[in-house]
Amino acid sequence: MFISTVNLKEIKTLKQAEPEEYQGIYFRDSKIGFVVNRDSVGSDNKQLFEQEAIMNLNITQAIQAITL
């Protein structure tokens, strides 16, 4: 089956499902956070790469949540 057209609602749904990749962050064999990589096309039609990191670090006996 071949799809000849895609309507605007389908295009919006496909854009929301832009590729995301998750990677774990480990320290001494323990997972302390993760990184999310997102690829999309910017408003100027250039490739856009976004990266977000979230970690829980044990600093001075207290867990600190770090978001980059």
- Domain borders along the chain are 19-67
65 vs 43, which has greater pLDDT?
A: 65
Q: What is residue 12's predicted lDDT score, i.e. its pLDDT?
A: 73
Q: What is residue 55's predicted lDDT score, i.e. its pLDDT?
A: 95
Within 8 A by CB and 6+ apart from 39, the residues are 18, 19, 47, 48, 49
- Look up residue 16 and give its amino acid: Q
- Residue 41: beta bridge partners? 47
- 27-56 pLDDT, tens per residue? 999 999 999 998 877 788 888 889 999 999
- 4-20 pLDDT, tens per residue? 677 777 777 766 666 78
